[in-house]
Structure 1
Amino acid sequence: MAALIVATPCAAQDQNEGERASVLADALAKCPAIAADAERLACFDRTSAALLAAREAGNLVFVDREGMRTAKRAVFGFSLPKIKLFGDGRSDRAEPEVREIDSVLASVRQAGNGIYLLALADESQWQTTEARTGFFPKAGKPVKIEAGLLGSYSASIDGKRAIKVKRIR
């Protein structure tokens, strides 16, 4: 089972929590190489106790691959700073970036001037950024939102021509 250890910031710590998580993971990885049984067991005990204490304090969170996929989907469409929360993307084991989502329109509201607010079944909310004649989205229709160039997004509702959108919630 693959897991991601996420460090949460703690202002009282001198050492960056991300670095601390990496140090603990590295220490745990070295334990099996210790030849003497007592020393190896002590290494596992010491390192696992430190990891569990950090988790109990809320400084570390363990997330499996499915949790990473869910989190990536949940933030799809938001402008986020470049952080290594989901890895650096260079590893063969890294989860690929989410480039599109498929959902269903839960509700549609007109915002005026041909602009619509689209609520998806996953509770995300999007707003069209361009007015289009003959565009009348309806709740219950399938929607695909795809990432475009330079942080843009487009939504295709019921397989029809895509319209530019932005995530608002």
Structure 2
Amino acid sequence: MTIVAMATPAQAQKKSAGADPGPVFEGMLQCRTITDDSARLACFDRQVAAFADAQKTGEVIVAERKVVEQARESAFGLAVGESTLLRGPDGEPLKSLSSKITGLRPLPGSGRLSITLENGSRWEQTDPPSYIFSPKPGQMLVIDRGAMGGYRAKIEGRTGFTRVRRVE
């Protein structure tokens, strides 16, 4: 399980997500150092109650790693995807996404494409149409970060890419 504690902006700048468990969880960890059994149990009872209260109010979020990974993929390409909360164990944002194309639609008047992926995200082609990039539903699309903050899409196993932007 991954336990993510909310940090102040200053803490978030100093440490990557997951590096600092936060004061509520840290209190539970401190209970382990108490040698007297009844005092240690009383400490754990107090700290677990504080942890449960913090979870109930949203101050602390508890999620399995799988759920966090799904959220990272779902947010890829959106401004929220840069959040420290959705960074990986290495503190880095997601660098690429691979998902099956479930829908293609031409954008009116431009010949560019609107691409819907299996994960529900929708991307729009920003480069002019090209024979190099001719996706079909069912193919795997790999989207990665391009130069200067943009995104590039390519059909898995083929050369050539097109620039895209996340719209939904």
TM-score in same-fold range (> 0.5): yes
Partner of 1:110: 106
Contact 1:119 1:125 in 2 (8 A): yes
Partner of 1:124: 121
**RMSD (Å) for aligned C-alpha atoms:** 2.5
Partner of 1:145: 143
Gaps of 5+ in 1: 9-20
Deviation at 1:59, TM superposition (A): 3.6
Q: How many angstroms apart in 2 are the aligned matches of 1:83 and 1:120?
A: 22
Q: How many angstroms apart in 2 are the aligned matches of 1:167 and 1:120?
A: 11
| Residues 81 and 56 of structure 1, relative CA distance in 2, 3 Å threshold | same
| Residues 157 and 110 of structure 1, relative CA distance in 2, 3 Å threshold | same
User: SS where residue 118 of structure 1 aligns?
Assistant: strand
Gaps of 5+ in 2: 8-20
User: SS where residue 85 of structure 1 aligns?
Assistant: helix
Contact 2:5 2:25 in 1 (8 A): no
User: SS where residue 41 of structure 2 aligns?
Assistant: helix
Partner of 1:15: none
Q: Which residue identity does 1:3 align to in structure 2?
A: T
Q: How many angstroms apart in 2 are the aligned matches of 1:70 and 1:6?
A: 19
Deviation at 1:150, TM superposition (A): 2.1
Deviation at 1:50, TM superposition (A): 1.0
TM-score where L is the length of structure 2: 0.79
More displaced 10-residue stretch of structure 1: 152-161 or 133-142: 133-142
| Residues 161 and 82 of structure 1, relative CA distance in 2, 3 Å threshold | closer
User: SS where residue 33 of structure 1 aligns?
Assistant: coil
Q: How many angstroms apart in 2 are the aligned matches of 1:79 and 1:86?
A: 11
Q: How many angstroms apart in 2 are the aligned matches of 1:130 and 1:39?
A: 66
